[in-house]
Amino acid sequence: MNIIYILWLRQIKKYLRSRSRIVGSLGQPVLFLVALGFGFGPIFQKAGEGNYIQFLAPGIIAMSILFTAIFSGIEVIWDRQFGFLKETLVAPVSRFNIMLGRTLGGATVATLQGLIVLLISLTIGFRPLSILGILISLIIMFLTALLFTALGTAIASRLQDMQGFQLIMNFLVMPLFFLSGAFFPLNGLPKALAIITRIDPLTYGVDGIRGSLIGSSHFGLSIDFLILGGITLLILSLGSYLFSKIEI
């Protein structure tokens, strides 16, 4: 258990010490919130869907969690190249515990990033329904962060260089985000697109955050929790297996 705590704390300390990383990672979410929120707001309202910032903010929160969580997998490659991973893996502890500590740390950092975006959203007009809804959304944020941190770690465990990871992430992250319903309602989609959005695990993170914060859930919070929890356990199992096969 000590190694899990040490690696979890290491991830958080690295994040808190890197102010430029925190500020830099907020640029894209703020741009989407302001440009799309106010740019498409009148069109969204004319279509009878209400306030677009209310609809958009949960999706942008999920986006910031996705990017922060999945790219934390890069640190596996980075630590491998600079020797820290080797020092960790030769320690007399379970590789599952090492992977779990890293994943929990990355998920905590991604959740903090989502919370910061939520606070920024409040300054531009986003209004959650209740304090209880915010607390529930934090649980969904952490589940979403845990899922994609584990996925990033699983992929990075099979790669040797940064370039390969970036290539796979570009083909994976953007489709996951744009097909999650972060920008558009899931009602009335063409059948093919509706099937794809249901396959996308981020869809349930976006829907759960939106449902808990503004009371508008396409699938229902119970379904979101169930599917996110099931996929998270599956990806954690896959990630721990692939991480255990890393050669040093």
Q: Would you give per-residue pLDDT tens digits along the chain (248 residues)?
A: 577 777 778 777 877 777 666 777 788 888 888 888 888 777 777 766 678 899 999 999 999 999 889 888 777 777 777 666 666 666 667 778 888 888 898 899 999 999 999 999 999 889 999 999 999 999 999 999 999 999 988 888 887 777 776 777 678 888 899 999 888 888 888 899 999 999 999 999 999 999 999 988 999 999 999 999 999 999 999 988 888 777 66
The whole-number pLDDT of residue 74 equals 74
Phi, psi for residue 126 in degrees, rounded to 5: -75, 135
| Contact present, 113 and 25 (Cβ < 8 Å) | yes
Judged on CB neighbours under 10 Å (0-12, 13-18, 19+), 103 is: buried
Q: Are 142 and 224 in contact (CB under 8 A)?
A: no
Say what the pLDDT of residue 211 is.
93
Residue 8's nearest CA partner among 161, 142, 157, 118 is: 142
CA distance 110 to 76: 16
Centre a 10 Å sphere on the Cβ of residue 175 and count the other Cβ atoms it contains: 13
DSSP category for residue 185: -
Q: Is the pTM of this model over 0.85?
A: yes
